[in-house]
Amino acid sequence: MSWRSSLGTPIVAAITLAAAHAGVDPADVIHPSRGARRVVAARQIAAYLCVVELELSANQLAPLFRRHRSNIDRAVRSIEDRREGRFDEELDRLKDELNALRRGAIFTPHTPHKTRFPAASGLSLA
């Protein structure tokens, strides 16, 4: 069973957007190991998007991200503490893209890093 089939579509979209933004494979975001710094950043952003935009609790997300709920809370706080300047603009753009997907829009996400993950282009939740 793939990681995508075990999660709800909006959660998959949040993980995929965060992974594309960080230039990592989405499967690494929910992998049980910590991973490289970019994977950790993508996981924190994905958790933030799920809590803030999808209104999911840390208790709901913990098993999906294969983390304890306190790790989800810490990830969200970490992102909230960093929200200023360019990073804040990037988060707002990711939130807008996630909400566009939830409304059924098709888009090609902006990827600031060179990435080997092309599956995010043409994403649709419709």
105 — pLDDT class (breaks 50, 70, 90): low
pLDDT at residue 104 is higher than 70: yes
Q: What are the residues facing 23 on neighbouring strands?
A: none
DSSP per-residue letters across 25-62:
-HHHHT-SS---HHHHHHHHHHHHHHHHTS---HHHHH
What does pTM read for this prediction? 0.77
Lowest average pLDDT, out of 32-41, 47-56, 90-99, 103-112, goes to 103-112
DSSP designation for 6: T
* Architecture of the domain delimited by 9-102: Orthogonal Bundle (1.10)
